[in-house]
A and B are shown apart, each in its own frame.
Chain A
């Protein structure tokens, strides 16, 4: 049984939530740490591997949702700090995200 030593949570503020590009950034960052890191969309779980983009995308988390992280391992604290910063800084997204500006959007 893993003992999770550290937890943290952050609210999604970027315009389109946890979409393709933010998910790529989040999982890449998680993979750069050796600790086991899990993420959940609710404090009660379900917890999933933060290094798996398939799992992370499955949350379909939108703007305003809160992401919860927990980690165990030698660099657990650093990992959580880095992940919180990434979310708090809105994934360093400019507005729009991977769904780029429709300069001439389709008629509705």
Chain B
């Protein structure tokens, strides 16, 4: 069989090779219902059996694992959960059907929650449901997963994770799944590599085939060729050595070999990413993407709900600066009902600030929420995709208006500094024409526009090079403009988190990089090895 490769999203870092172990879906079985009393008796016994299993697992688990099982047990013990099922039994339903149907609204309720933490509870309820269903069917205990297996499934339940022995290695590859769910949390804590969103049918792949999971590239290989294997093993060995070395740099401020202090900030795509992160490990939040506000919904949360979310990030940062970017939809980030459908070239279309200015019904509430957030701490606001000074002026006018409205209403607010992303060639070539309070280089878009090579086209991937001298010269020009005018300049694109590019970026004059939280260690380590006083290598 030829080598297969699938790409997903990273949920837990690390490398693993092992036999592919697809896990089958839970299947409904039709059964003729007994009398309501018989069915109630069966359901009682199944719930009691499931609780006994949970207690047994709890005795073996520790930390988060034990907490998750305690939560499931508490839910299962609560008559509020099972009462609707028992009621349905009086209508002659089979216990299996009554139980599944009673839990369905609970699961839906969590799935549609605004908060990622609550959404992640949906799989706990599904887990409880399946445990009781298995007990009802008198199903044997779940088949054991051999140690070292690459578990492939649509989604994985926390109890399934906890009942699997990971001490012999192994990894998780999910067709669906969430990077913020319980299982992802457990996998990170336990050091089990995990990829989600592979979009593959688990039943279509050969059980027992050799599989490789690269938790950094978020890739799964089946039946890899010798060359793929060799490269994988080299990367895996390298990653182990590097992670150990890099983690030593995490707690310290970033300073080059010759003593130049570099600000290392973090990019945040969702507030859930901040859980467990220590703000002391970074110099602030250089980019809050607000697109997450729209995830899975037609309209953004209202002003108050936005304020609450932003305030959480400001509170986390504990006095460190927080730069929040206004909605950056369009391009490769369409939002149904908001962005235009069918644009011939969406990257050159109505995206970023252009869309916000066209949709002030969405922009104004966001600006109000940001003014109110700014009253709580050192918050700055950043506009994406600025090409002209007119766009900055129009946005600033709206910001001033909304700030004035808040003041008039007596609502606590502050007019935040207003900066721009530098990602269009126009802004990069002539930053002096755009009188912003600060500048942040969006190296991903800037690179694709300067080299005219789409980010999402494999065919021109070799042209897409953020370290091309043309890109670096533009960055140097923006850095020089910022230094001359006393305005902050930082970079928040992917280039900043590539340790191989950090030196070239700092040599353009940049002194602030904003990177994903996972890259803090490696970037700080790279900075510590750079000597800016020496001639460039």
Contact = CB atoms under 8 A, between A and B. Distances in A.
Contacts of A20: 67-68, 71, 121, 124
Interface in B51-107: 63-64, 67-68, 70-71, 74-75, 78-81, 106
Interface in A1-53: 15-17, 19-21, 23-24, 27-28, 49, 52-53
B269 A95 contact: no
Contact of A62 (B78, B79, B272, B308): B308
Contact of A24 (B70, B267, B289): B70
Nearest to A103: B188
A89 to B, nearest CB: 18
Given A21-B67, A107-B10, A108-B268, A63 B312 contact: yes
Nearest to A65: B308
B117 interface: yes
Contact of B179 (A23, A49, A60, A106): A106
Interface stretch (B25-33, B229-237, B273-281, B408-416): B273-281
B74 A28 contact: yes
Given A99-B185, A108-B289, A19 B117 contact: yes
Given A20-B71, A24-B71, A108-B269, A101 B275 contact: yes
Interface residues of B, number: 53
Nearest to B276: A101
A17 B271 CA distance: 13
Nearest to A48: B80
A85 B289 CA distance: 37
Given A24-B71, A60-B115, A99-B185, A105 B64 contact: no
A86 B11 CA distance: 33
Contacts of A57: 75, 118, 121
B158 to A, nearest CB: 10
B64 A100 contact: yes
B35 interface: no
Contacts of B81: 54
A64 B57 CA distance: 34
Centre residue among B67, B74, B267, B312 by max chain A CB count within 10 A: B74
B10 A21 contact: no
A98 B116 CA distance: 13
B189 A62 contact: no
B518 interface: yes
Contacts of A64: 308, 311
Contacts of A107: 9-10, 516, 518
Contacts of B179: 106
A73 interface: no
B304 to A, nearest CB: 11
A101 B71 contact: no
A20 B118 CA distance: 8
B495 interface: no
Interface string B302-314: 0000001001100
A108 B325 CA distance: 14
Contact of A102 (B106, B185, B269, B312): B185
B185 A100 contact: yes
B16 interface: no
A70 B268 CA distance: 40
B10 A106 contact: yes
A10 B113 CA distance: 24
Given A95-B276, A99-B117, A107-B518, A27 B74 contact: yes
Interface in B1-48: 9-13
A100 B10 CA distance: 17
A62 B115 contact: yes
Centre residue among B68, B189, B276, B517 by max chain A CB count within 10 A: B276
A105 B115 contact: no
A96 interface: yes
Given A20-B71, A28-B74, A106-B10, A60 B118 contact: yes
Contact of B13 (A24, A49, A95, A104): A104
A50 B270 CA distance: 31
B192 to A, nearest CB: 12
B120 interface: yes
A102 B67 CA distance: 16
A105 B269 CA distance: 11
A57 B311 CA distance: 22
Given A20-B121, A62-B308, A108-B289, A96 B275 contact: yes
5 contacts: A23-B74, A102-B517, A105-B518, A106-B10, A108-B273
9 tightest CB-CB pairs across the interface, nearest first?
Answer: A108-B269, A101-B276, A106-B179, A54-B80, A20-B71, A104-B13, A100-B64, A96-B276, A52-B80
Interface of A: 15-17, 19-21, 23-24, 27-28, 49, 52-55, 57-58, 60, 62-64, 95-108
Interface of B: 9-13, 63-64, 67-68, 70-71, 74-75, 78-81, 106, 109, 113-115, 117-118, 120-121, 124, 179-180, 182, 184-186, 188-189, 267-270, 272-273, 275-277, 289, 308, 311-312, 315-316, 516-518
